[in-house]
Structure formats: structure tokens, C-alpha cells
Structure 1
Amino acid sequence: MHYMGLNEIREKFLEFFESKGHLRLPSFSLIPQGDKSLLLINSGMAPLKPYFTGEQEPPRRRVTTCQKCIRTGDIENVGKTARHGTFFEMLGNFSFGDYFKEEAITWSWEFLTKVMEIPEDRLYPSIYENDDEAFEIWNKKIGVPADRIFRFGKEDNFWEHGSGPCGPCSEIYFDRGEKYGCGKPGCTVGCDCDRYMEVWNNVFSQFNNDGHGNYTDLIQKNIDTGMGLERLAVVMQDVDSLFDVDTVKNITDHVSKISGKTYGESYKTDVSLRVITDHIRSTVMMICDGVIPSNEGRGYVLRRLLRRAARHGKLLGINEPFLYKVCDTVIHESGGAYPALIEKQEYIRKVIQVEEERFDATVDAGLSILHDMIEKAKNAGSKELPAADAFKLHDTYGFPIDLTIEILEEQGMSTDRDGFDALIQEQKERSREDRKRMGDVGWASEDLGLDKSLKTEFCGYTQLEAEGNVLALVSEGESTDAVRAGSKVTVVLDKTPFYAEMGGQVPDYGTMSHGDCEIEITNVQKNGDGRIYLHSGVVKSGVVSRGDTLVCKVDKERRQAICRSHTATHLLQEALRQVLGSHVEQAGSYTDADHVRFDFTHFAAMTPEEIAKVESIVNNIILEGLEVRTDEMPIEEAKKLGAMALFGEKYGDIVRVVRAGDVSIEFCGGTHLDNTAKAGMFKIVSEASVAAGVRRIEALTGRKFLELFEERQKTLNDTAAALKTTPTDLVQRADQVVEEIRGLTRNVDSLNSKIAEMKLSELLNAAEDVNGVSVIAAKLDDTPEVMRSIGDILKERNANGVAVLATVTGESKIQLLCVAGKDAVKAGAHAGKIIKEVAKLCGGGGGGRPDSASAGGKKPEKLDEALQAVCSVVAGIVK
């Protein structure tokens, strides 16, 4: 047994099982594909469920992988101990109806004792309590003495994780030595102490769990082996925990360098270093697989991990974004095994940096509010923050509940977590009620009760008209045999040319008919597992019945308009990558009739020059009239062609590839043009931010472009007519008008000054002395502009004066102005205070600086009374 690095162990394992006839597959994405029971991949076998259940044919009966996994069930304990983590790599060898217990047990023993060279006397197998077959293999074939084989119950030796394949298992434990033991008499395999570490788990997958504790025999017996790569590295490197393993320790060392803290110097410091080290591994892997920080689902898991790590950075004294720097070490340590990390390094760094900066703003606002809430609770003699306060922090300010709980714990407080969860549930219920308002499609998409073997065949790539047999009808939220004219209906067919909404592409519209029956279709969706199409609309005439054969006609003009948008979307993505860089990835899209909405990863607003360049590239490709080809081919062949995949998506062995000449080549299940020229023209109408690191472009094609052009041409013509010129000379005429307006403005300013001069002596003669200050109060019949000119002159020429001027500008609108000369201000006058009191008397309010202030009023009938009170107001201020 000798030291071996984590990356070397991974390769040794995969090579070993390749030598046993296994096909090495790359790690699947952390985003589950077609599995609604999981938020994130949490085990090596999770992405392989369809092969275990027999739903899909595996690429080979023997497979081996090293799978990225995330489990967040114990997130609160991460950092507090050295054994908990959210990210790990699971080594696995799998058999789908090929070999079973004997081979699995034999090879696990061979790998550990021969390849890893672990001494046999330090390894202890365990079996499910009733599995005599496994006992015989261990005892008779392998030669492990009976007293070294341990039998455990279902809790320990029956593997299942939610719904799906499961079965009894046989684990292998490694004795780490007495120094890791608890010292209690009888300490042995199965003890809760750290001496005996499980390193291998042979799962004999024989059953399928429906998620409700009901087990049925699988069609084929399978092998699902799981072994934590980090755990085996702990053994091979003879270290205390996963945080001491070479690749993980290098990450901790980077954090230590930034923070100036050393791992092992104190428990509190170690907790923060472990949290940051674990969470940055998880976040880097999640972002690489296409997860973007958000407030729901897996995006919230990512945001929670990032923000928890950032918070612990602050506890270490790091008061600036730093995680995006640490991610470089994660990528350096794992990039050899996962090349996508290196390809997307710039993007991963930027997503983390932007989220850290957002978190800083959230923490600054949230901490202040939480502090006030804590003080309020303490003053009330309570050590519990009300659930409503915790929910408000979460819902209104985006402050994570786990962060609230951590800060409360530091203050010796808690919150009503059950109450908080109840409020979250209420919010979800409201959302669920909103979804119910979708009508039949929302109801039908849950479960139509159809035979699982039934499905809808889509023929719409090549046909816009086809016949389909009615398999089911839904109306008024219930399955039915017939629906009459005037009623809403959802129709399920065995064959359809109608495209169902997916991949950001809107559904087809059209009609279905049979005899005198006609149905107008205005929505098409797929059910939950995608096997059937749900056509929704209104029965316009006649009766539709289960079993009818309907003639389906897609609205050809609408379909063509949608195709224009979808093909243009592909061209847009290529243009964006050319102009902005290869970090651009699709983050969502919406293609409607001649309308494109495209979300993409980028971290700054596009400049007008960049937008113009992207638009020009797309239009040049359109004008080239490139052939658009659509082919189905093996995924490996598509990758060799350089086809772009949607970020974070998983594809089957056979994929649909759309090519626009040699310019754009992408995996895509949507409908497209056959030539780029048919898109017409392409116009970007807006570019904006929709999330951290995600921008959105809205653009028009085809007839929508023509409508926009015609609308703008009309605006141009109308504007030219209003300025008594032609569209050709509009710019020149506009420049002339602007210059004319400037001249008129100068004349008005000059006239206002002359009018002000004329009225000045009259106003000064009416001044009254109030405690040594010259006070003027006057109602003017002039414009507000003239009033301001008069005020400026009075303030400059009457240094010891205060003037309150007013003008009525509408039925119930008064404008007031107060100015005070510099000597009057020294004497105690304050224009802001004076105008505030005067405005109150005529139904208004305002304020301003000591030398100048303005206000408004709503009661013209009270204005004279207010002006008469000016002297007494000044007297109250200037003593």
C-alpha cells in the first residue's frame, strides 16, 4: 500500500474495469435528465436509471463511470465536522443484466488488494442479514473468515435512494487503526467512530421502488457499485479526512493564502475553511453543467452554496469577492478529468464573481434589517425571531433562511422554522392555484390515466397535414368520450403534425376536422414524460368522439413565421459568439411567429457598435441564402462535426442536427427553414439584463420586421410633414429647428430679465423692515421663469433682504419662491424654513437651502392670506 493521488486513483479504477470489459462513460451532467424525482444527481447510478429499469437499451451491458454528485441534505453540518461535504465523486461499475454477485464481489476485492495493494487483514466485508449467497462468495470463493464478515439489517445494507432500482448490498470496510477508534470495548465494524471506514458498496440491484415503499422485481438483475473517490483517497494517502486529500487540500491552501488563516489553528477557522473548500467545489461543477444562480430549484441550491461560502469568507476577514479566484484551483485540480471546466473557466469565474458582488449588496441591506428585527425581538424578551420576519427577509430582500438561522445562532436565538416553511408552502399553493387556471392542459399534463405503452407520433417535420386517431378527450377538467360544439377540449392523438411547445419554440395552431366536426387548435403541449401531445382548443361545430379519425391541418403561415424565428435564433447565437466571445452560451430562448427572444451568458451591456455588428452578421448570412439541412445522426458523429449543444442539456445516442451552411451547426429538435434567405431580414429591437450574467436580446424577422419598417417609415413621413420638409431633408430641417429654438430661448431669457428689471423698483419700494431685515411678499402675474429671474436679481442686489414671490399657474396650482440675501442669511433668515411655513397656509409644502427655496400650493384662494403672513413668519425666524 503506497501513497496515490486522487486523480491517479480515479484513472486506475476506470482502467481496471475497462480491462473487465466495461465501457467507460464520461460523468453525466449534475442536472438530471428526464428524472423529476431528483433536483441534482446524487449518486453514480442516478443517471443510469433507465438502463437499470430496462426503459432504455444501454450502450453496453457493462459500464464504468466516475460521476460528479451533490447531496445537500447535511449542508448544516458541512464545516462543523471533517466528514461532511456536499460534493463528491462516485466511482462505479455497473452491470445491466450481465454479471451479478460473484463477479462484483470478486472484482471489488481484486481492485482493493491487488491494484490499490491494501492489506487484506485491514478489509472487512458486510452483507445484508439474509443474503447467504453473498456470504458464501465472501467466505468460500474469496476466503474471508466467517468472523470477519458482518451481517447488518436493512438500514445499513439495503441500498435505495428515493424511487428507482434498489436492492441488498455488500460493503467493504477499511480499518484505519486504533488512533481513529473510540476506545470502547467491542469497537468493531459498524461502530459510529471513525476507525472502520466504508470504502466500497456492491449493490445487488434486484427491485424497483415506486417511491412509496412498494417493491417489484426488476426484469433483469443488475450491479450498481458505488465508491467515494475522496474516501478511497483518504485511505491511500493515510490522512485524517477528505479535506486533507491532495486535490482538496490545495483548494483549502488557496483560501488560507487569501485569508491569512491556517487550517488547524482553531475550530472556528477550520469550520469556515471547510465550508468554503467544499462549497466552491460544488459551485464550480454546477455552473459548468449549466446551473445559474436563482431563487428556486437547483439555481437556489447553487446560490445558497455560494452565499454560504461568501459569508464564511467574511468570518475569516475577507471583505471582497474572492471565490472566483479560488475556482481557478478547483479547475486546475479537476480539469484533467473534466475538460469542460477548462473550456468554461472564464464563464465560471464570471458567474461566481457577479454572484459574490450581488451577495455583498444583499448582505449589507439584509444584515441591517435583520439586526433591527433581532433588537425588536430581544426588547420584547423573546429569543425567537417571528417566522413572518424570516419569511420577509427571504421573500422581499432575498436573504437566505439558512444565513438568517446561522446569524441567529450566533446571537443565541432561533426562529420558527416550521412557521417559515408553512409560509413558503402557502406561497407555493398560491402558485399551484395559478397553474390550475391553465385549464385542461394544466390538468391533463399531470396524468391522463392512459396506458403507458401509448404515445403520440410526431410527423410535423415533413408534414403539415396528417390524419390522427383520437386516443383521449378532456373537457371541463375531466376525461370524456365525446365533446360537443361550443366546448373547450384537449385532444390526444396517436399521430400529429402539430409541434408541441418545447425548447423555447411556441406551439403550432391550426384545425382538426371529421365530417361536420371542426376543432380550432390554439395550444399544443406535451405531458410530463413527453410521450403524448395535448392539443387544446374549441369545438367549433359538430361532435368529436374518442376513436374518431381527425384530419389535422397546421396553420402553414404561422409555422413558416416560427421557422424564420428559430433559424434566425441559431444565426444570432453564432454572431454573438463571433462578436462577444466563445463564453456566450444559450441560457434560454423563445421563438414566436417572426419574434425572437434569446437569453445568453454575458456580463456587460452590449455597446451600440456590438449590437450593430451582430445584426449585420446575421443579415449577411440571411442574404447569402445558405441551405439549412436537418439530419439525424449518432451523437459522437454530431460532436465531430462541431455541433453546439444546449448548455447543461443531455442528449440521446441519436440526435437531430441543424446546419446553416458551414456557419452554424447545432443540436435542435425544433422546426426550421430550408434556406436562410427565407428569414427575410433580422432586426434587434432591444438588449437588456434579465439576471446576473445573463443578457436578453429581442429581435424581429419576416413580416414583423416589415411591420416595424413600415411603422418607422410612417413616423418619419409624419415628422417630416410636421416640420414642413421631406424625409430626405429631415435631419437638416431638425438641426435648423433646434437652432431656431435656441435663438428664441435666448430672446425669452433676455425679455424675462428686462421684465424683471422693470418690476424690481416697484417690489423694493413695497419692502417692510422686520427685525432689521428687508422683507418683500408679492403675487406676480408672470410666468414661473420670470419669477425666478426676479428672485435671482433680488437676492443679488438686496443682500439684507428676504423675498417671497408667488404666481398662480392653474386652477388649483400655485408656485412659491423664497430668496434671502447673504446678509439676511447671516442675520438668521432661512429661505427653506420660511417657504415651508408660508406654503402650509395655502395648502402646500416645500423647502430648500437657506438662500433659495421653492414650494407649491393647492389653494389659490388662500394665497393672499399666506403672503400677508410672510412678515410674521420671518419675525419668528429672525430674532
Structure 2
Amino acid sequence: MQTHEIRRRFLDHFVRAGHTEVPSASLILADPNLLFVNAGMVQFVPYFLGQQTPPYATATSVQKCVRTLDIENVGITTRHNTFFQMAGNFSFGDYFKREAITLAWTLLTDSVEAGGYGFDPERLWVTVYLDDDEAERMWLEVGVPADRIQRRGMADNYWSMGIPGPCGPCSEIYYDRGPEYGVEGGPEADEDRYIEIWNLVFMQNERGEGIGKDNFEILGPLPKQNIDTGMGVERVAFLLQGVDNVYETDLMRPIIDKAEQLTGRSYGVDHTDDVRFRVIADHARTGAMLIVDGVNPGNDGRGYVLRRLLRRIVRSARLLGAEKPVMAELMKVVSELMAPSYPELATDFSRIETVAVGEETAFLKTLNTGETLFDNAASAVKSKGGKQIAGSDAFALHDTYGFPIDLTLEMAAEAGLSVDEDGFRSLMAEQRKRAKDDAQARKHAHADLTVYKELVDRGATEFTGFDELTSEAQVLALIADGVRVPVAQAGSDVEVILDRSPLYAESGGQIADRGTITASGLKLRVNDVQKIAKKVWVHKATVEQGQITEGDVVLAQADPAWRRGATQGHSGTHMVHAALRQILGPNAVQAGSLNKPGYLRFDFNWQGALSEAQKADIEAVSNDAVGADFPVNTFVTDLPKAKEMGAMALFGENYGDEVRVVEIGGPFSMELCGGTHVEHSSQIGPITLLGESSIGSGVRRVEAFVGLDSYKYLAKERALLAGVASSLKVPSDEVPARVEQLVERLKVAEKELERTKIAAVLSSAGTFVDQAERVGSVLLVAAAAPEGVNAGDLRTLATDIRGRFAGEPAVVVLLGNADGKAPFVVTVNKAAQDLGFKAGDLVAGFGPSIAGRGGGKPEMAQGSGSDPSGIPAGLAAVRAQVAELAA
């Protein structure tokens, strides 16, 4: 049975049983505890917590999930994936244990002809929580014999989110793969032979504070008993398809097949290679799913996880023998395999490919840099007669430069060296512990939003701001410090919930309106407006006059000037987006935005900086559209029709069944957008690009002023240009040429100054040679350089001194004093090296005196110290060390 059919059968089974089918949420949700959605129930958390009343009593979904806690272990086991699909059925105070058990058992054991999966009931085992007699009795009733039901403790069969909130005992269903896969005895004996395929959580209690799976207090029962189940689609697939593991299923094995073609190696021949093939298959799929939901490679958070995944693909392919880039081919296979269930992988493939290939290109450059750094580290080890690269060096290559340890091991072996793997693993373990501690520290209980529940259940705030700036409204509630209050006095801060409001609540990149709430003798200044559950407007305000009481009828007004500037900024963003796509092409896709009065910031997916010509063209196209006075039309339609019309959607955003489309100038710009806009494009005013920059790998940012702010900026620039022209005594249009002439003259002067400076430094070389001390058979120059000589000039001086000793053994050590630092250079000529003198060894002798360190090759070492006062002691240490070596 193919995986897509397994998904469909699950959903159909529960829809027939009265459940509402709910689409998978994006992998990115606004939950402070989660980088990614990692369980099927995450999008339903507000219902389980009682913060919102669900729109349905029961639901079913197949949720896409990502878990990345142990990325390094992917591929080592054959049943874990970073991306997986969790099929689930949920009850919000409706049915409980009996129905959940019956529905799961019938789907698993009913024949394929009857719509089930056709599992042999004789091969299914069940676990229940230690004292859950009720669940055991129900499993017996559906036909599971007592000897195939096992009781397990809290760590295995008691569920919670790891933070205070709902919890409860659970019951897991296992499939026995047979004696060839392990020992008899059920799940307690061997979880490789007995594979968990379904977990039924009986959510009935509330947990308190604590850490871990079993170290917390159970506070008491929940107001309602809920059901949360999860069936692993990938695990069921490999069992129904008769293969040994998830990597050999219909949605994974073709990726491995492609990797075999790209690398020339075969899967199933060597365990180490097999792990690398599985890493490629797993990470390629996860990477594509993250990119399509709006994640871009970066240096922290979600972006860092994606970057690691993509780079591990490149690394694994390279270790398997790939000599050319692989990402484009792998992403194409993933898209073709997964698109039947996730069609956005096909429609957005161009962007997925661009992001993935861009990261591959960047990492290949990093690998080249890492190879150079490895060569330096290996040379340093060999020069000292060593045989092992330090664990700290291997860790630095891995952590700082992204150079993988397995490549370090391979290259070390080729160079006849080993690596201190224990030291490396210890440092990696410390890093992981810091990361886990940090993640745990950032976890906290979900914000208590129960105070808003009645208001959310009442219905959405009516937003009147598309048609008017002033609206009569009734005060539905007042909230202060998280508590509902009947009245708020002058001087207090309060959250005001109205039945209707013209003030825009922050969303879609547009910041909230500012405004007022007034009545006879009453005035509140509205400082911010936010949404609760995407439907209730919360006006965060300060009472400036009078007192406001729940039930009051008031006038809510958006600041007209603020709104005008905000609409200019938001409409200007649409113009810039359209211009970017016109100049750069369809891959310049929105990755975020910020609009406020007079200003816009637009982030988009793109590899590489824009040229001056491209920026000028984007500005010109945007302003041409402003000048064309395009009409701005808005209308509401369903999502499929909007996409069919070509409306642009924000990647990773979850849209409802109905969407609002903003159309500017017909085909020029059409986007899904809930923001406020001008009525004609000319009302935006001039658009002036301020600059363009990188905010992460594959993501660029443009910023611009619009309207009056644009005019003010241009006026300021004009005044600045006029001042420069006046100083240079040339017309404004000649300023660039004149500045260029001055810059060239300055460069010439600086070069001449540098030549003079070097000549002055080198003129002292003869003096240092004359001061050379004979120590045994070696001539030693150990001296303080002239004050202010920088490291580069110090090296030039030392090299010149060394050259004046012809073939006689000589050691030159110069310590400088420049800008509060103590740069140094040690150089040893060939004759002295033959006697056993090495520049790097000498640094170790005097370095502590100046709080410095450095390194290099036997003939030359250089570095810097932070304590110039130690120079005399350092020179004395050099003389003593050379004397000892000479003896």
C-alpha cells in the first residue's frame, strides 16, 4: 500500500466516523517553545488548554512534523526521520477511551477491501499505563488477549508537553515483525522487533512544574476529557510495504536511488555508506518541507537547523564520492515524490531549488576553506614530530568553519595522522549540553489566555477600518494585568475589547494603528492593537481623562495621518515586490516585510547582492507604477480561485477558506493581503530606495521611504550635495568626478607615505645587525622595534635583517609596541634551522611575558601580545632560551 493511500485511508476512516478533516498546519507556528511543529496535536493546543472553544467536537488530520534534537543520529537507526507525518484523531470533550480504542483497532485490522489496513491482529501488541485498568479492559473487549497487553511506567506511557498543561496516561500499539528481528517478549523486551505504530493519549489531567517525562506533579483532572492520538505514517508504510525500514518505502528509497546515481556507490553494501545514504534521503525531504514553509538557511534558530540539514547532505554525498553538485537533482526527486500529498512542493519548486542550491554552493566554498585550514593544522603537527591532530583543532574546524569531523578523519588518515576523537567528542558533548540546557531554559508554560476565551467564543471583532476611520462601538471587556476588570480610571493602562473597531491590528507586516477611544468626559490614547486567536482586537491604551466602564458606548478613531502613512508604506511594499519580480524574475519571493508610516522594509529570497543598475531599475519601475495612477481594487474570494488568478501568497502563512486579494494596476501587482491600502497608486508618493543588504544566506532586504518621508529624505540628500559642491567649488553635477579625483590623489599620497615609512623602518636594519649577539654558534638579534611599527612592517624589517646574515646561522626576534599591543616576529634562517632552531618553539618561551601567542612555520612565526610592558622580560627569556638551545 502506497504512502499517499495510507494517508487517505486514515482521513477517510475518521471522516466516516464523524470527524472534521483539518489540513496540516505549517511547520512554523507562533509557539515560543517550538522551533517547528513536532506533533500532530500542536495546532489544537488552544482547544486542549481550554483557551478557545473548538469549532468542531472531533477532528482528524495528517500533520507534517519535524524533530531535530538528535540530528547526528539520523541514519544510524532505520526507523527515525527528522521529517515525518503524524496521522491523528482528536476529541475535545466528546468521546474518550472506548471510542478511541475501537476506532484505532478497526482501522488497523479491517480488511483492505473494507477500507482498513489489513494488519494481522495476532501480531499487534498493546501497552497501557501502570494503573489504567479501564484501558486494559477495553483492549480485551476489542479482542487483544491479556498476554499481549503490557503495563509500563510514566516514562513510557504517560504523556505531557514537557511543560505545565494537559497530560494523561497513554496506550501504545505495537506490531510484531517476527523472530528474525529480535527476541520474544513484547515491547518491553525488544522495541526493534516490536515497532510502535500508534499512540493513544487519554488527556484527562493537568500537570505541574517539573523536568523530564516522569518528574512532575499531577495537579488534578481537566474540566473535560480529551483524546489525542498519533499514528506514524512512515512506520505503517514500511510495514505494509514489506520492507525492512522507513528508508526503503516508496517515498524514501527513490531518493537513495538518485543518490546512488550521483555518487557511484551502492546502498546495502557498506554500513557506513548506508548511513550516509539515509542521511541524504532524510535531510533532502526535511529540507524541502522546511523551505516550502518559508524557512531560509541562517545562523540561528530555524535557519540554522535548515543550514545543518542541507550541509549534511552535501557532506554525505561528498564522502560517498560525489564530485559535482547534487542538490538540484535530489530536490527534484523529493518534489515529485511528495507533491501528491503536498502540491505546494511542485508549484513552489523553483524557489525550493534556488534556496537549496544556493546553500550547497556556499558550503562547497566552506569545504575548500576547511581543507586549507586542515592542511595548516596537519603541517603544524608534523613539524613538531606529532602524529595526532588535537580534538580542539578538529572541533574548531567543525564548529567555526562547518567542516565535518568525518572528512577531518578521512583527510587525517590520508596524511598519515590520527585525530583525538575522544577530545572532539567531549567538546561536542559539552556543546550539545549547552544547547539542550538553553532550549530547556527557554521553555515555559503557554501564556495564559483564558481571560480572553469568552471573548473569542463570542466571535470576531468587526473591523470597520477598510471603510471608515471613526466607528461607534461598545466596550465588551476591560483587562488590566491579565485580569478582567469592570472599570479603569484616568492614568491607568488597560486593554480594551470592542465589538467593532476602525483601528488596524498588527498583522501581515503592517504595524498597528494609533488612535483614540472617546466618549463624553472620556479619552483613551490607543498605543497598540493586537489580535488574540486571529479574531479579537485588543486595544492597548492609556486612560488620559475620565473613566471607562465595561458596557460603555464609545467612539474609536484611527489617527488619520498615521493611517495615511501606513497605507502608503503597505501599498509601496506591494509596488516594490512587483518591481523586484519584474527585474529579477519569479524567484524573488517575499520572505517578510515591515510597513509603517512613511517607511517599508521588504525581505526576499535571492542569492547575491543586487547591482547598482538593478536597484536603480527597481526604484524606477516602482515609481513608474506610482505615476501611472493605477486603481487599487480589493475583493474577497476563495483561496484556490485567488491562486488561479495569480495572486501572490506569503510562504509559510496559513490562510483560511476565504482570502482578501489586493490588486494594483491589474496584472502589475496581485497579492493576498489583509492590510490597508491607498485607493490609487499615485497616493503612495515617491518611493526612494535607501539600500539593500543581506540578512542571511539566500535572503536580501530592501528598505525605502515613501510619500512625504521620501521627499524629506531627498531634500536632505540635496542639501548635503549642495554643501559638498560648495566646499569643492564645483557645480553639483561635477561633484562625483571631483570626489573621485580627490580619492585618487589621497591613494597616491598614502602609498607614498607608506613607502617613506617602510624606508625609514628598513634604514634601521643595519643598526640591528650591528647589535647582533653571538650565542654559541648562532647570531641572535633580540630587540624592541621602534615604537609604532605595525605587524606588517615588523615582518618586513625582520626579513631584511635575516637576509643580511648570508649563510651564517641567525635568529631574529623583534618585539614591537603599537596601539597598546605587542606585535612580534621571529624568523630563523636555513643555517639556524639545520641546528634545530624553530621559530614557533621560540614563541612559547617569550609569549607569556607579553601575554601573547602566535604560530607559523619553522622559518617564521608571528603574533601579538596584549602587554607591551613585558617586552624587556620577553627579550631576556629569548636570550636564555637561545643560549640553552645553543648549548
* CA distance in 2 between partners of 1:11 and 1:787 (Å): 73
Contact 2:82 2:283 in 1 (8 A): yes
Query: Shift of residue 393 of structure 1?
Result: 7.7
**Matched residue, 2:711:** 706
Contact 1:818 1:835 in 2 (8 A): no
* CA distance in 1 between partners of 2:404 and 2:435 (Å): 13
**Matched residue, 2:283:** 279
**Matched residue, 1:504:** 509
Deviations 1:417-451 (A, max 9, x none): 6865787799999999xxxxxxxxxxxx9889967
Change in 2 beyond 3 A, CA 1:415/1:379: farther
Change in 2 beyond 3 A, CA 1:639/1:222: farther
Contact 2:583 2:614 in 1 (8 A): yes
Contact 2:505 2:537 in 1 (8 A): no
* CA distance in 1 between partners of 2:36 and 2:561 (Å): 41
**Matched residue, 1:121:** 122
1:339 partnered with 2:343: yes
Contact 2:513 2:558 in 1 (8 A): yes
**Matched residue, 2:307:** 303
1:27 partnered with 2:30: no
**Matched residue, 1:194:** 192
Q: Which amino acid aligns with 2:698?
A: G
Q: Which amino acid aligns with 1:255?
A: A
Contact 1:323 1:352 in 2 (8 A): yes
* CA distance in 2 between partners of 1:531 and 1:784 (Å): 62
* CA distance in 2 between partners of 1:95 and 1:784 (Å): 75
Q: Which amino acid aligns with 2:7?
A: R
1:671 partnered with 2:676: yes
Number of residue pairs matched by the alignment: 743
Change in 2 beyond 3 A, CA 1:706/1:353: same
* CA distance in 1 between partners of 2:757 and 2:452 (Å): 79
**Matched residue, 1:91:** 87
SS at match of 1:596: strand
Query: Shift of residue 49 of structure 1?
Result: 2.9
The one of 60, 64, 70 aligned to 1:68: 64
Deviations 1:100-152 (A, max 9, x none): 44444344333333123333322334444444444444434x33434344444
* CA distance in 2 between partners of 1:318 and 1:625 (Å): 54
Q: Which amino acid aligns with 1:5?
A: Q
The one of 226, 232, 246 aligned to 1:228: 232
* CA distance in 2 between partners of 1:71 and 1:124 (Å): 26
Change in 2 beyond 3 A, CA 1:193/1:425: closer
* CA distance in 2 between partners of 1:360 and 1:446 (Å): 43
SS at match of 1:69: strand
SS at match of 1:494: strand
Q: What does 1:308-327 align with in structure 2 at a 5 Å threshold?
A: 308-318=312-322, 321-327=325-331
* CA distance in 2 between partners of 1:662 and 1:785 (Å): 56
What 5-or-longer segments of structure 1 have no aligned partner?
A: 433-444, 749-782, 789-806, 820-829, 851-879
**Matched residue, 2:36:** 40
**Matched residue, 1:692:** 697
SS at match of 2:251: helix
* More off after superposition, 652-661 vs 106-115: 652-661
Contact 2:388 2:420 in 1 (8 A): no
**Matched residue, 1:793:** none
Contact 1:127 1:170 in 2 (8 A): yes
Contact 2:496 2:541 in 1 (8 A): no
**Matched residue, 1:559:** 563
1:203 partnered with 2:201: yes
Give the TM-score taking structure 1 as reference length.
0.69
Query: Shift of residue 209 of structure 1?
Result: 4.9
The one of 6, 9, 12 aligned to 1:9: 6
**Matched residue, 1:797:** none
Contact 1:561 1:702 in 2 (8 A): yes
Query: Shift of residue 598 of structure 1?
Result: 0.6
Change in 2 beyond 3 A, CA 1:366/1:493: farther
* More off after superposition, 409-418 vs 344-353: 409-418
* CA distance in 1 between partners of 2:390 and 2:537 (Å): 50
1:157 partnered with 2:157: yes
**Matched residue, 1:622:** 626
Deviations 1:574-601 (A, max 9, x none): 3333443333321121223222211111
SS at match of 2:201: strand
**Matched residue, 1:877:** none
Change in 2 beyond 3 A, CA 1:420/1:241: closer
Query: Shift of residue 294 of structure 1?
Result: 1.9
Q: Which structure has the larger Rg?
A: 1
Contact 1:63 1:94 in 2 (8 A): yes
* CA distance in 2 between partners of 1:94 and 1:430 (Å): 30
Give the CA RMSD over aligned residues: 5.4
**Matched residue, 2:598:** 594
* CA distance in 2 between partners of 1:607 and 1:369 (Å): 32
* CA distance in 2 between partners of 1:738 and 1:208 (Å): 71
Query: Shift of residue 180 of structure 1?
Result: 0.8
**Matched residue, 2:143:** 143
Contact 1:31 1:289 in 2 (8 A): yes
Query: Shift of residue 325 of structure 1?
Result: 2.7
* CA distance in 1 between partners of 2:439 and 2:159 (Å): 32
* CA distance in 1 between partners of 2:203 and 2:755 (Å): 84
Give the TM-score taking structure 2 as reference length.
0.69
Query: Shift of residue 367 of structure 1?
Result: 7.1
Contact 2:27 2:64 in 1 (8 A): yes
Contact 1:75 1:85 in 2 (8 A): no
Change in 2 beyond 3 A, CA 1:426/1:534: farther
Contact 2:66 2:84 in 1 (8 A): yes
* CA distance in 2 between partners of 1:297 and 1:231 (Å): 29
Query: Shift of residue 566 of structure 1?
Result: 0.4
Change in 2 beyond 3 A, CA 1:259/1:401: closer
* CA distance in 2 between partners of 1:500 and 1:403 (Å): 52
Q: Which amino acid aligns with 1:200?
A: W
**Matched residue, 1:258:** 262
Contact 2:314 2:360 in 1 (8 A): yes
* More off after superposition, 124-133 vs 241-250: 124-133
Contact 1:42 1:69 in 2 (8 A): yes
Q: What does 1:399-798 align with in structure 2 at a 5 Å threshold?
A: 410=421, 413-416=424-427, 420=431, 453=454, 464=469, 471=478, 490-495=493-498, 499=504, 501-509=506-514, 533=538, 535=540, 554-607=558-611, 610-630=614-634, 643-652=647-656, 655-660=659-664, 662-663=666-667, 664-711=669-716
Query: Shift of residue 482 of structure 1?
Result: 6.6
* CA distance in 2 between partners of 1:208 and 1:518 (Å): 43
Query: Shift of residue 525 of structure 1?
Result: 6.5
Query: Shift of residue 671 of structure 1?
Result: 2.8
Deviations 1:770-798 (A, max 9, x none): xxxxxxxxxxxxx999999xxxxxxxxxx
SS at match of 2:311: helix
* CA distance in 2 between partners of 1:106 and 1:842 (Å): 87
Query: Shift of residue 714 of structure 1?
Result: 5.5
SS at match of 1:415: helix
SS at match of 1:311: helix
* More off after superposition, 122-131 vs 598-607: 122-131
Q: Which amino acid aligns with 1:6?
A: T
* CA distance in 1 between partners of 2:693 and 2:233 (Å): 43
**Matched residue, 2:413:** none
Q: Which amino acid aligns with 1:83?
A: R
Q: Which amino acid aligns with 2:39?
A: S
**Identity rate of aligned residues, in percent?**
37
Query: Shift of residue 354 of structure 1?
Result: 1.9
Deviations 1:210-268 (A, max 9, x none): 77554654555444332212211221222221122232122122222222222222222
Q: Which amino acid aligns with 2:692?
A: E
Change in 2 beyond 3 A, CA 1:673/1:380: farther
* CA distance in 1 between partners of 2:601 and 2:749 (Å): 51
Contact 2:339 2:345 in 1 (8 A): yes
Change in 2 beyond 3 A, CA 1:814/1:651: closer
What 5-or-longer segments of structure 2 have no aligned partner?
A: 211-216, 411-417, 771-784, 801-887
